[in-house]
Amino acid sequence: MQITKKYLLFTFLTVFCLPIYSHAQNASDQVLPAEANHSQTPPLPLKDLRLFTLIFDHIRRSYVEPISDQQLLENAIKGMLGEMDPHSAYLDASSFEQLQESTQGEFTGVGIEMGKENGFIKVISPIDDSPAQKAGIQSGDLIIKINQETIQGLSINEVSDKIRGEAGSAITLTVIREDVDKPMDITVVRGTIKSISVRHRVIEDNIGYIRIAQFQKSTGKDFSSAIAKLYKKESDLSGIIIDLRNNPGGILQESIKVVDSLIHTGTVVSTKGRLDNSNAVYTAKEGDETNGLPIVVLVNGGSASASEIVAGALQDHKRAVIMGTKTFGKGSVQTILPVSDNKGIKLTTARYFTPDGRSIQAQGITPDIVVKPATITTISTETTISEASLGKHLKNTDQSSPKSTDHQEDEKSSDTITDNQLFEAINLLKGLAILNTQRNNNDQ
């Protein structure tokens, strides 16, 4: 990317400071002025500047190993940003370049979205089909060691540097997992990750399923295309399931486009910050591309940031039933400010709010229907006695075909679904479809 102005601001939403799959999270193409009004900000006291220079000189002269002034200054910047919040960070040349490349959806690494908890790196979610997911890394895992070296106390930048590497090389992550007695060593082979933002298919004959893995460039367009393709494959859709589980967020504008395609009008999200351009209200244009189909949105603790915007907006507009478990609760906006041709800072500049004015920061979105992950098993039943098996039973005078066949076929089809949250979403949409059919019949 060629820098054409002294300051460029890229607004986006993520759940981590730096990714450990060797790219920083997506930024948008929105260009905003970076000038803030500092007229009311008191100048830094001279004694504090002297304290900084004194400490700087002590480290430069007395540290056990030689260290350059440039490295000391970069460390000071990293420390300053690192103490602000878990999402603000300094982007060196490598991280800044990776940030720009990430919007294309292809990068090299292991594929883990991360945050920080109690000095350790917490896995927010592994990316779909990434080396980390295939190796068994799960949402909620705490990474305590990398190649048997403890990482407690390290910054996310430092951990990210340790995990980066060439495609094909292996790395061992030691993780602590809830409900597992002792730490687990998981070896992951780094690879080139092509992140597919939107996937879709028809399930249960006439229910559309759309999976959004993360919000990157063209996600909004791809989502609209998925809806059109679902209708082309099955014109008589009875509902749509939008799967946002383990979606860590991404580009703000793309999440707005997704909501815009599902509601007629109204606020999608608003942002509030100190910069004039941080205060904005984003609204939907007229038109619902699903023609009012019932929608179920699946979320969990790995659903964060931009995915929470989608869930919160659809919940406030009563446009969808939110199902699953409570979301991550990341309700802030980060802005990328280039400070040179190849370096920048990622700074939290605003909070975002749902259409009803709710802030989900550190709160998350509570589902309308809570469904915790569980294992689906089919319980075999003994042969039962029915009226039809009794001798001399009265015959049914109704000559029409029995309706049990379709029911049995549905049960057989449902048995192939081992994801209980998806299973419950399907059942809910089936129930809504039955009610709608009955209402339509009564109205005729």
3-state secondary structure of 92: coil
3-state secondary structure of 313: helix
Q: Which two tokens stand for residue 417?
A: 């679904």
Are the C-beta atoms of residues 62 and 56 closer than 8 Å to each other?
A: no
How far apart (Å, rounded) are the C-alpha atoms in residues 359 and 51?
38
How far apart (Å, rounded) are the C-alpha atoms in residues 161 and 178?
26
Specify the DSSP class assigned to residue 238: -
From 305, 307, 332, 346, the catalytic residue: 305
Residue 368 a catalytic site member: no
Alpha-carbon torsion, ordered 17, 121, 298, 423, to 10 deg: 160
How far apart (Å, rounded) are the C-alpha atoms in residues 97 and 363?
33
- For residue 271, the Cα-to-chain-centroid distance in whole angstroms is 18
Give me the helix-helix angle, 252-260 and 306-316, nearest 10°.
Answer: 30
Q: Which two tokens stand for residue 277?
A: 């351009």
Residue 206: other Cβ atoms inside 10 A: 17
| Beta bridge partner(s), residue 108 | 192
Q: What is the gyration radius of the CA atoms in the chain, in angstroms?
A: 26
Residue 122 a catalytic site member: no
Residue 316 a catalytic site member: yes
From 92, 155, 316, 332, the catalytic residue: 316
Residue 380: CA atoms inside 13 Å, Cβ hemisphere, count? 1
Instruction: Give the pairing of strands 106-109 and 112-117.
Output: unpaired
How far apart (Å, rounded) are the C-alpha atoms in residues 92 and 120?
22
Would you please indicate which residues are annotated as catalytic (active-site) residues? 305, 316, 330
